[in-house]
Amino acid sequence: MNYYDEIKNELINNEINRAVKKYSINKSDLNTYFNVGKMLAEAGKHYGEGIIKEYSKRLTSDLGKGYTETNLKYFRQFYFFLKSHTLCDELSWSHYRTLLSLSDEKEIEYYILLCRQQKLSVRKLHEKIKSKEYERLPENTKNKLINNKESNVVDFVKNPILIKNNNNYEIFSEKVLQKLILEDMETFLEELGTGFTFIKSEYPIKLGDRYNYIDLLLYNIKYKCYVVVELKVTELKKEHTGQIMTYMNYIDENIKSLEENKTVGIIICKKDNKFVIRYCSDNRIIAREYVLV
């Protein structure tokens, strides 16, 4: 079999399809690069790894730019990946090329799922990979993804949570942390997962004859529940769980409707203390550390 001529013809046919049928460009690209990758893998078995370099030079001479050794290796890697995974034609070749730079297949599957659900652009996908989003997911969440188990409202809250500090504040307090979050609420909500919406900061609740103020009150549309967020610039302490539990119970008794699920609580702290959460009597409460970026 003349692998080079077959590969060249495959790529030429793809260029024709792209010119004639613009509506199917992406599908044509993915099918072509899969087929080319398959032939490159077979050619490598017969002629060794050096065949990639040879074909790259010949294709560049015959067809022009775009057929570097690196690109041909991506085509081959794409073929190997799809041997055990389902093609998602909602993603472009640029999405797949970005993902194939990762070594963990479960991580790749996570970002494919994210791209499908959130219609991520390639730029947004780059940002999420750069922020190590998958690595910051709890292990329990990763296991749920692997086993296709149903997730809950706090499963995708990252740890640590990244908070932008564009002004490089040095004197730090809970008020400053709150200010930084409010300055970029959209990014903060993305760090928590999907379906979160912002209601109010310093949300007032009256306990007896005194007012208390919830740092951030959110609502999750997907899971139909309120979310109380408390900010701490210290290590997590047992009194923090008592405080947020009181706020959560107040929301449940005075604001939540019968159709809505129970309120959950997220304590964002400088340093976690696993024993505080371990012995907390309310499993609706989670703690996450924050990192300024």
Give the distance, in angstroms, between the CA of residue 244 and the centroid of all CA atoms in the same chain.
Answer: 27
The owner of tokens 């990244």 is 162
- Only one residue has tokens 């947020």, namely 244
Q: For position 176, what pLDDT does the model report?
A: 94
Q: Report all structural domains of the chain as residue ranges with CATH numbers, in order of start.
A: 3-136 (no CATH), 148-292 (3.40.1350.10)
Q: Any idea which residue has 């019968």 for tokens?
A: 258
In this predicted structure, what is the pLDDT of residue 17? 72
Half-sphere exposure in the Cβ direction for 142 (13 Å, CA):
14
Q: What is the pLDDT along the chain (293 residues), one digit of tens a residue?
A: 789 889 988 888 887 777 656 546 788 899 999 999 999 999 999 999 999 999 999 999 999 999 999 999 999 999 999 998 999 988 999 999 999 999 999 999 999 999 998 999 999 999 999 999 999 999 999 999 888 899 999 999 999 999 999 888 876 899 999 999 999 999 999 999 999 999 999 999 999 999 999 999 999 999 999 999 999 999 999 999 999 999 999 999 999 999 999 999 999 999 999 899 999 989 999 999 999 99
Q: Do residues 74 and 32 lie in contact, with contact meaning Cβ atoms separated by under 8 Å?
A: no
The pLDDT value given to residue 169:
82
pLDDT at 20: 58
Q: Record the pTM.
A: 0.86
At 180 the pLDDT is 95
**What is the pLDDT, as a whole number, of residue 26?**
86
**Long-range contacts made by residues 183-192, C-beta under 8 angstroms, separation at least 24?**
187/162, 188/161, 188/163, 189/218, 191/157, 191/158, 191/161, 191/162, 191/163, 192/156, 192/157, 192/158, 192/161, 192/218, 192/227, 192/266
Cα–Cα distance between 12 and 197 in angstroms, integer?
49
Strands (E), the chain: 161-163, 196-207, 210-220, 225-231, 264-269, 285-292
Query: For residue 19, what pLDDT is reported?
Result: 62
Amino acid 146: pLDDT = 83
Distance CA 210, CA 234 (A): 25
